Structures are given as structure tokens and as C-alpha cells.
Amino acid sequence: MKHATSKELRCDYPVPVDLVGCGGTGSQMLNHLLNLHLALRSRNQPGLCVRVFDPDTVSAANIGRQRFYAGDRGRNKAVVSVNRINLACNVEFEAYPIQYDYPMHAAVVISCVDSRRSRSDIIRCCSERPTYHLDCGNGADFGQVAIGNGNEIAWPQQRFPELFDPRLDSEADGPSCSLAEALEKQNLYVNVFAAALAAQLLESLFLEGGLDYAGAVFNLKSFKTVPLPIVSAAEAKQRQKENPEK
């Protein structure tokens, strides 16, 4: 039985979804959003109104690990990705080659960023506004995805507060100069796996009407995936008070 939610995503107009970050995980996530949009349209529903935010440009290190090609080098990630999808599939997704630093009144905000500071900026400007916040993150060969609505389902930052603390960012997490260097830092498919898990959560919400879990943590090296049980925001807040070190 799916977990019922008080905040309904089905409506008579395209659901506004903001994708923040169009790099390793975000470029994969964008394709999943297209598939979900087309699936909703096939059911005579309005689908999604997708807006993609990313100020970065495509580099040589991105080609082969993210959904970009040699001809994309030097172009903005959000713009090139959205233009390609719009032309190929006759949709009207929107690209914003800027940082996500102001609320856009989205029903769902999906964060696919690579620093704690970026996560902190996102929740500071939008955590009280979206119906759902879906956060995706990963390390070399592990990661997590978590969704919340600040009510029946705790916000991602309540589950993983350490991932939203900019003081814990490391200078070693900077951009790579080549694909070979990037692969020394991350498994080739860790972003693909994170995006697929996140997309499964959205499918459950939009096509099945609820959630069985609030996300998952995974480790590709050990081939383990552990689902996150649904915990309310009130429960998460109480647990934090009782165990402030966690």
C-alpha cells in the first residue's frame, strides 16, 4: 500500500518541476523527467513543466561521463540539454543558465548538485515553498537520494544534515581536467544509479499515487541498496533533539 500524502501533485495544468544542476546526475535526471512527462501525457494528463538551472559550461572532463558530446564543449549545460530534448521530442522545457538562488514556486525541486554549499543555498531559498524536495548526492561509488515534503515525509536535510553543511566541503572536490581524472574520483555509473533511484520515486508519486519509501542509500562496490523508511518531519525533529550527534 502506498503511503498517502496530503500534498497532491495531480492537477489540471502541467506540474512545475525545477531541476537544479545538469551535470553528472542532473543530465541523467533530465532524461528521466522527459520520460515521465511523456508517460503522463499518454494518460491524458497535462504532464510536467520542467525548468533546468545550471550556470556551468560543458568541459572535456564531462564528455563520456555525463550526457554531453564533443560539440557541446563550452556551451551551457542547461541550455544545450534542454534545447536537444525540446527539438527531439517537441516539448517546451525551459533552461536557465544561472544559479538557483531565488524561489520559483515549484511543486517539486530536484537538487543534483555537487557541494554542500549549493545544497544549503537551495534549501535556504525554497525549502518552505515546494511541495516536494528530492535531493540526489553521491561519492566515489556510493550515494543517497531522499525526498520529503516537510510534513508526512521529513525534508532531506532533516535526514542528512551533514550533507547540507557548507563547512564540510572539501577543496579536493573541485572539477576535474579530464575524463580519466574524473573517473579516479567517481565510478562511471554512480550518477546514473542515483538518477534512476530518484526517477523511481517520482514514478511512484506521479503514476502510482504515493510512496513506499522516502529514498535509499546505495553502495555500488558492495552492490547494496538500503531503502529509507518514511519518517515524518515531526518525528525527524524529535529524533534530532534526542540524538543531536546524528
At 123-162, the pLDDT tens digits run 876 655 668 999 999 999 999 999 999 899 999 999 998 8
Task: Give the C-alpha separation, 13 to 211, whole Å.
Answer: 22
Contacts of 235 (CB under 8 A, 6+ apart): 154
- Tens-place pLDDT, residues 37-55: 999 999 999 999 999 999 9
Is 102 within 8 Å of 109 (Cβ atoms)? no
Average pLDDT over residues 218-237: 94
Position 14 pLDDT exceeds 90: yes
Question: Mean pLDDT, the chain, as a whole number?
Answer: 87
User: HSE-up of 95 (CA within 13 Å, CB side)?
Assistant: 22
> What's this model's pTM, rounded to 2 decimal places?
0.89
Domains present along the chain, CATH in parentheses: 15-242 (3.40.50.720)
Average pLDDT over residues 201-212: 93
Position 88 pLDDT exceeds 90: yes
Is 108 within 8 Å of 17 (Cβ atoms)? yes
